[in-house]
Amino acid sequence: MDEATSQQGSEAEGAARRARFGTLPEPVRVEDMVEERAASVPDPARTAYNQDEWLVRYCL
């Protein structure tokens, strides 16, 4: 095969490939890949911390 025929074949193959596969999809942002939500309902009584509570319980 000569170079002109080879180049035309490559162009035809490239056009067929673009027609079949199109373009690549848009990249997905990292922020869109992760979903954050609470595993359970927050309990305010459990997370409330009083720094002086240990004094009252153990020292008085």
| pLDDT tens, residue by residue, 27-55 | 999 988 888 888 888 888 777 777 777 77
Residue 5 domain boundaries: 1-57
> How many separate domains does the chain show?
1
Sign of CA dihedral 7, 12, 13, 18: positive
Look at residue 27 in the predicted model and tell me its pLDDT.
Answer: 92
